[in-house]
């Protein structure tokens, strides 16, 4: 009996130790479970959101889609209003109904951008411009789904003229328009005390440099250059004027009333030296520059080579009739697909090939213009108050057998 009591006395401390051990283990396991649940809760995927200039946009079921690889695309139509564009179906200045909904374009005060399904080519032009379209190549095709056209988020910087970024932490797509980014950099510039920069360009073409990581800025002496987002110099402030051309990827610059063309890439020789009284983009694809020297006009190509000497009083025909279309460059004309430039000397008009500088028609005509006929652009000349199609006139000067009165 006494032996049994002794054994029980020895077992009681041992049992208490086991209970205490199990209690400690339970507490530790509970703490681990709580920590794991907190971690899982913190890592829970947030719903995808989208903002434009800091304002959230309601993501409807047709605003965003993904392709087979999980890449996001945004509806051109659904996002257009938030970005300040008017959305229109069909092609720009194409006056036939597009029942397939395979084309659309966006229009703002400064820009028109045209899209087409199943191609990675888009086209830009300024409203009322006499130049041809600027052609751009995207990384991905425009997709068509449920009669809506979609552009990849990878391509919106060039395709929609917006700055795109993504916040992984917030699972948020961020769109910022160029003018909004400009205002942000203006605010940042005001806080910079260790540089001599005083102004950020608000010119629309110069704002496009933002799409390529550049900010056009002036110093205290009103000399223009370009910096990156960290306010590091890309192009030194040495120019009286500076205008970015997105299509050519260049700046038309001036100093001491002389104009030239420089690359957007730093530390490179000018494409066109600052020797000219005036320089304009004459044609976008391929690029040609109209240059003025000693009051006369000539042409230099995109590589800086003179194609047409400075022999002409002006370039292009400006229409003064509602039935005529002003004409500067006739694209891919004839069997040889030549690019022809309308030139003027002593009040008379002619044609010169932009491809090789060859004179196609001497400056002897009263007019060279186009007409919109049945949705197609046709070209005409006027000589001694008689209108003749350009095709027939070129045939005439090549064969001298046509009766212009027919």
Q: Could you tell me the pTM of the whole model?
A: 0.82
If you search the block for the tokens 């069997």, which residue do you land on? 335
**Sheet architecture: strand order including 250-255:** 241-245, 250-255, 258-263, 272-276
Tell me if residue 88 falls in helix, strand or coil: strand
Last residue of a domain, one of 263, 278, 311: 311
Q: What is the distance between the alpha carbons of residues 211 and 204, in angstroms, rounded to a whole number? A: 12
Question: Is position 18 within any domain?
Answer: no
Question: How does pLDDT run along the chain (406 residues), one tens digit per residue?
Answer: 444 555 455 555 566 667 666 667 677 777 777 765 655 445 456 899 999 999 999 999 999 999 999 999 999 999 999 999 999 999 988 877 777 889 999 999 999 999 999 999 999 999 888 777 899 999 999 999 999 999 999 999 999 999 999 999 999 999 999 999 999 999 988 887 667 888 999 999 999 999 999 999 999 999 999 999 988 999 999 999 999 999 999 999 999 999 999 998 877 899 999 999 999 999 888 899 999 999 999 999 999 999 999 999 999 999 988 889 999 999 999 888 999 999 999 999 999 999 999 999 999 999 999 998 887 889 999 999 999 999 999 998 888 644 544 4
* 225 half-sphere exposure, CB direction, 13 A CA radius: 19
Strand-strand pairing, 49-52 and 55-57: antiparallel
CA distances from 147 to 77, 90, 117, 143, 246 (A): 10, 12, 10, 10, 30
Do you find a cis peptide bond into 286, omega within 30 degrees of 0? yes
298 & 369 share domain:
no
Question: Is position 380 within any domain?
Answer: yes
List, as one string, the DSSP characters of 231-245.
S-EEEEEEESEEEEE
Torsion of CA 347, 353, 359, 360, to 10 degrees: -90
296 & 383 share domain:
no
Question: Is position 370 within any domain?
Answer: yes
208 & 286 share domain:
yes
104 & 126 share domain:
yes
165 & 247 share domain:
no
Q: What is the distance between the alpha carbons of residues 289 and 284, in angstroms, rounded to a whole number? A: 9
289 & 198 share domain:
yes
Last residue of a domain, one of 257, 277, 311: 311
Last residue of a domain, one of 278, 311, 344: 311
Tokens in use for 320? 């003064």
How many domains are there within the chain? 3
Domain containing residue 168: 49-175
Q: Which residues pair with 355 in a beta bridge?
A: none
* 330 half-sphere exposure, CB direction, 13 A CA radius: 27
Q: What is the distance between the alpha carbons of residues 60 and 400, in angstroms, rounded to a whole number? A: 66
Question: Is position 20 within any domain?
Answer: no
306 & 340 share domain:
no
């Amino acid at each position: 009996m006494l032996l049994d009591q002794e054994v029980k006395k020895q077992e009681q401390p041992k049992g208490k130790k086991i209970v205490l051990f199990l209690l400690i283990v339970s507490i530790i396991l509970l703490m681990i479970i709580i920590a794991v649940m907190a971690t899982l809760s913190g890592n829970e995927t947030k719903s995808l959101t989208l903002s434009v200039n800091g304002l959230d946009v309601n993501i409807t079921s047709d605003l965003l889609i993904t392709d087979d690889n999980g890449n996001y695309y945004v509806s051109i139509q659904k996002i257009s209003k938030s970005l300040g564009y008017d959305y229109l179906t069909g092609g720009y200045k194409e006056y036939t109904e597009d029942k397939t909904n395979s084309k659309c374009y966006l229009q703002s005060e400064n820009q028109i951008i045209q899209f087409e399904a199943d191609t990675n080519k888009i086209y830009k032009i300024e409203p009322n411009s006499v130049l041809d379209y600027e052609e751009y190549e995207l990384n991905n095709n425009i997709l068509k789904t449920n009669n809506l056209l979609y552009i990849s988020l990878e391509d919106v910087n060039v395709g929609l003229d917006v700055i795109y970024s993504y916040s992984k932490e917030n699972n948020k797509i961020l769109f910022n328009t160029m003018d909004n980014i400009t205002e942000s950099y203006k605010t940042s510039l005001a806080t910079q005390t260790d540089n001599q920069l005083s102004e950020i360009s608000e010119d629309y073409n110069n704002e496009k440099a933002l799409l390529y990581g550049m900010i056009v800025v002036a110093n205290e002496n009103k000399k223009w250059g370009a910096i990156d987002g960290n306010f590091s110099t890309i192009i030194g402030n040495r120019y009286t004027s500076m205008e970015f051309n997105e299509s050519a990827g260049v700046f038309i610059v001036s100093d001491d009333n002389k104009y030239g063309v420089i690359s957007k890439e730093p530390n490179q020789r000018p494409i066109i030296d600052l020797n000219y009284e005036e320089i304009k983009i004459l044609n976008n694809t391929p690029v040609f520059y109209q240059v003025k020297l000693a009051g006369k006009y000539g042409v230099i190509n995109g590589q800086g080579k003179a194609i047409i000497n400075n022999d002409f009083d002006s370039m292009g025909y400006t229409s003064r009739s509602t039935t005529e279309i002003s004409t500067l460059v006739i694209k891919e004309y004839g069997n040889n697909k030549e690019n022809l430039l309308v030139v003027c000397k002593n009040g008379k008009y002619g044609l010169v090939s932009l491809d090789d500088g060859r004179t196609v028609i001497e400056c002897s005509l009263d007019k060279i213009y186009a007409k919109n006929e049945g949705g197609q652009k046709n070209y005409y000349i006027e000589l001694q108050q008689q209108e003749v199609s350009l095709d027939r006139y070129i045939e005439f000067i090549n064969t001298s057998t046509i009766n212009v009165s027919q």
